[in-house]
Amino acid sequence: MSRIETIGDATLYLGDCREILPTLGKVDALVTDPPYGLGDWNNRGSNAGGPFDSEVTQAWDKPITAEHIALMRAASKHQIIWGGNYFGDLLPRTKQMFVWNKLIRGMHFNDCEIAWCSQFREACRVFDYSPASAEKKEHPTQKPLALMRWCISKIPNCESVIDPFMGSGTTGVAAVNLGHRFTGIEIDPGYFDIACRRIDDATKRPDMFVQLEKRAAEIQDALDLPVSK
Ligand SMILES: C[S@@+](CC[C@H](N)C(=O)[O-])C[C@H]1O[C@@H](n2cnc3c(N)ncnc32)[C@H](O)[C@@H]1O
């Protein structure tokens, strides 16, 4: 491990998650978007030489292994793992999946993406969101912030979140926005720096709605009032 940055309630590690995860305590939820290994996949499949090639044959896009899965599950109580369809053979059976419906059809990219969830709720859920949003893209496979906020908000009793494949830090920004502690790990120094900057910005500009909800909960606790649903 070559760097650790502490930014508010976030701790960010530059290094290989296989080395760092076993040194950390267990958190409430692991929410991640690991490399799907699409370089390998495309080179074998009908996409070879296609429009995805330049994007996915990145040095970091090595498919994850059973070792990664075991480390991720040991490090957290609940897990949401995007790309679960690419490595379903490595994951235990589940009833619950999350689907990101991109609302666009017939393009060269997928109509939807799928996350494998450890069973903390039973039903599958769909999030409708167009990738053609105005969000600035700083990583080739950057997930929309709204998507990561949505899936974190589905986890019961969640106070701490880890993303061992942090990329540009979208999960971290969402976790910080929602008032959770965050741990991020990224192996690429360039993406690590981007994640540090984005999470620092999010820490300096807390989400007003979440802050108001927190304050209301504190006042309710102090006055010992029943929580309104
Ligand atoms: C699919 S991208 C994540 C993108 C992220 N969701 C975002 O919104 O920016 C996966 C990331 O995992 C990183 N990575 C790959 N192998 C890793 C490892 N062993 N340890 C830590 N990070 C790793 C890659 O450098 C890449 O940035």
Q: Is 133's pLDDT higher than 90?
A: no
Nearest ligand 1 atom, CA 170: 8
DSSP string, 124-155: -EEEE--S-SSPPP-STTPPPHHHHHHHHHTS
Query: Measured in angstroms, how far is the CA atom of residue 166 from the centroid of ligand 1?
Result: 5
Lookup: tokens for 124 = 């599958």
Residue 86: which H helix or E strand, with range? none
| Most ligand 1 atoms within 8 A of CB, residue of 13, 57, 152, 165 to mutate | 165
Per-residue pLDDT at 196? 98
Q: Is residue 16 part of a domain?
A: yes
Q: Which two tokens stand for residue 82?
A: 């995007």
In a domain, 228, yes or no: no
Q: What is the CATH number of the domain that holds 87?
A: 3.40.50.150
Residues 41, 47: Cα–Cα separation, whole Å: 8
56 occurs within a structural domain = yes
Burial class (CB in 10 A: 0-12, 13-18, 19+), 112: middle
Residue span of the structural domain in which 163 resides: 3-223
Residues 6+ apart with CB under 8 A from 129: 100, 101, 102, 103, 144, 146, 147
pLDDT in tens, 40-66: 555 444 444 443 444 445 677 888 999
Establish if 55 belongs to a structural domain: yes
Which pTM value belongs to this model?
0.87
Cα–Cα distance for residue pair 202/172, rounded to 1 Å: 9
Probe ligand 1: pick from 186, 192, 193, 196, max atoms within 8 Å of CB?
A: 186
Lowest-pLDDT range of 47-61, 71-85, 199-213:
47-61
- Residues 103-109 have a mean pLDDT of 84
* 229, part of any domain: no
Which ligand 1 atom lies nearest to the CA of residue 143?
A: 8
Structure confidence by residue, pLDDT tens digits, 147-185: 999 999 999 999 999 999 999 999 999 999 999 999 999
Q: How many domains does the chain have?
A: 1
Residue 27 has pLDDT above 60, yes or no: yes
Proportion of the chain above pLDDT 90, given as a percent? 65
What is the predicted pLDDT for the residue at 228?
58
User: Does residue 109 sit within a domain?
Assistant: yes
Which amino acid appears at position 153 of this protein?
Answer: S
